[in-house]
Amino acid sequence: MTSLISLSHWLSAAFILSGVLFFVVGTLGLLRFPDIYSRLHALTKADNLGLGLVIAGLVLQAETLTGALKLILIWLLVIASSATTSFLIARAALNRGIQPRSQP
Protein backbone atom coordinates (compact mmCIF):
# COMPACT_ATOMS: atom_id res chain seq x y z
CA MET A 1 0.00 0.00 0.00
CA THR A 2 2.80 2.41 0.81
CA SER A 3 4.40 1.68 -2.56
CA LEU A 4 1.10 2.48 -4.30
CA ILE A 5 0.78 5.78 -2.44
CA SER A 6 4.39 6.61 -3.26
CA LEU A 7 3.78 5.85 -6.95
CA SER A 8 0.76 8.17 -6.92
CA HIS A 9 2.88 10.92 -5.38
CA TRP A 10 5.65 10.67 -7.93
CA LEU A 11 3.21 10.41 -10.82
CA SER A 12 1.43 13.50 -9.55
CA ALA A 13 4.70 15.41 -9.26
CA ALA A 14 5.70 14.40 -12.80
CA PHE A 15 2.36 15.55 -14.19
CA ILE A 16 2.49 18.92 -12.46
CA LEU A 17 6.11 19.61 -13.41
CA SER A 18 5.49 18.81 -17.06
CA GLY A 19 2.39 21.00 -16.96
CA VAL A 20 4.40 23.95 -15.70
CA LEU A 21 6.95 23.28 -18.44
CA PHE A 22 4.19 23.53 -21.05
CA PHE A 23 3.09 26.85 -19.56
CA VAL A 24 6.62 28.19 -19.94
CA VAL A 25 6.78 26.97 -23.54
CA GLY A 26 3.43 28.61 -24.27
CA THR A 27 4.70 31.95 -23.02
CA LEU A 28 7.84 31.57 -25.11
CA GLY A 29 5.66 31.04 -28.16
CA LEU A 30 3.59 34.08 -27.31
CA LEU A 31 6.74 36.20 -27.29
CA ARG A 32 8.68 34.71 -30.18
CA PHE A 33 6.17 33.71 -32.87
CA PRO A 34 5.87 36.06 -35.85
CA ASP A 35 2.14 36.61 -36.34
CA ILE A 36 -1.11 36.48 -34.45
CA TYR A 37 -2.22 33.11 -35.80
CA SER A 38 0.87 31.24 -34.66
CA ARG A 39 0.75 33.06 -31.33
CA LEU A 40 -2.86 31.94 -30.92
CA HIS A 41 -1.74 28.40 -31.63
CA ALA A 42 1.03 28.53 -29.04
CA LEU A 43 -1.26 30.00 -26.43
CA THR A 44 -4.28 27.76 -26.79
CA LYS A 45 -2.52 24.45 -27.40
CA ALA A 46 0.46 24.63 -25.05
CA ASP A 47 -1.24 26.41 -22.18
CA ASN A 48 -4.30 24.21 -22.20
CA LEU A 49 -2.20 21.08 -22.27
CA GLY A 50 -0.19 22.52 -19.39
CA LEU A 51 -3.35 23.17 -17.40
CA GLY A 52 -4.61 19.68 -18.20
CA LEU A 53 -1.40 18.13 -16.90
CA VAL A 54 -1.45 20.24 -13.73
CA ILE A 55 -5.05 19.24 -13.07
CA ALA A 56 -4.26 15.58 -13.78
CA GLY A 57 -1.55 15.75 -11.14
CA LEU A 58 -3.90 17.38 -8.65
CA VAL A 59 -6.65 14.84 -9.34
CA LEU A 60 -4.25 12.12 -8.24
CA GLN A 61 -3.90 13.97 -4.94
CA ALA A 62 -7.61 14.73 -4.51
CA GLU A 63 -9.14 13.49 -1.27
CA THR A 64 -12.78 13.33 -2.38
CA LEU A 65 -14.51 12.34 -5.58
CA THR A 66 -16.36 15.65 -5.77
CA GLY A 67 -13.05 17.52 -5.53
CA ALA A 68 -11.64 15.53 -8.43
CA LEU A 69 -14.77 16.07 -10.51
CA LYS A 70 -14.63 19.80 -9.83
CA LEU A 71 -11.04 19.92 -11.06
CA ILE A 72 -12.00 18.09 -14.24
CA LEU A 73 -14.93 20.48 -14.71
CA ILE A 74 -12.57 23.46 -14.47
CA TRP A 75 -10.32 21.95 -17.12
CA LEU A 76 -13.18 21.22 -19.52
CA LEU A 77 -14.52 24.75 -19.05
CA VAL A 78 -11.15 26.34 -19.81
CA ILE A 79 -10.72 24.13 -22.87
CA ALA A 80 -14.13 25.07 -24.25
CA SER A 81 -13.64 28.78 -23.61
CA SER A 82 -10.14 28.84 -25.10
CA ALA A 83 -11.24 27.00 -28.22
CA THR A 84 -14.16 29.37 -28.73
CA THR A 85 -12.19 32.52 -28.06
CA SER A 86 -9.23 31.58 -30.24
CA PHE A 87 -11.54 30.80 -33.15
CA LEU A 88 -13.34 34.13 -32.74
CA ILE A 89 -10.08 36.08 -32.55
CA ALA A 90 -8.64 34.34 -35.61
CA ARG A 91 -11.79 34.93 -37.65
CA ALA A 92 -11.90 38.59 -36.63
CA ALA A 93 -8.23 39.00 -37.56
CA LEU A 94 -8.88 37.43 -40.95
CA ASN A 95 -11.84 39.72 -41.53
CA ARG A 96 -9.63 42.66 -40.64
CA GLY A 97 -7.32 41.71 -43.48
CA ILE A 98 -4.43 40.40 -41.39
CA GLN A 99 -2.94 37.75 -43.64
CA PRO A 100 -1.24 34.62 -42.32
CA ARG A 101 2.50 34.69 -42.76
CA SER A 102 3.54 33.05 -46.01
CA GLN A 103 6.62 30.91 -46.52
CA PRO A 104 9.85 32.96 -46.26
Partner 1 sequence: MALFDWGLVLSEILIVTIMVGLIRIVRGPTAADRMLTAQLFGTTSVAILLLLGEAQDNPSLQDVALIFALLAAITGIAFVRHTWNTEPETHD
Is 50 within 8 Å of 21 (Cβ atoms)? Answer: yes
What is the number of other CB atoms lying within 10 angstroms of the CB of residue 90?
17
Task: Return the CA Rg of the chain.
Answer: 17
Number of residues in contact with partner 1, rule: CB under 8 A?
47
Q: How far apart are CA 102 and CA 104, in angstroms?
A: 6
The sign of the dihedral angle between the CA atoms of 63, 68, 69, 70 is: positive
Kindly identify the residues of this chain, within the stretch 24-83, that bind partner 1 according to CB under 8 A.
Answer: 24, 26-27, 30-31, 36, 39-40, 43-44, 47-48, 50-51, 54-55, 58, 61, 67, 70-71, 73-74, 77-78, 80-82
18 near partner 1, judged by CB under 8 A: no
Q: Which chain residues interact with partner 1 by CB under 8 A?
A: 9, 12-13, 16-17, 19-20, 23-24, 26-27, 30-31, 36, 39-40, 43-44, 47-48, 50-51, 54-55, 58, 61, 67, 70-71, 73-74, 77-78, 80-82, 84-86, 88-89, 91-93, 95-96, 98
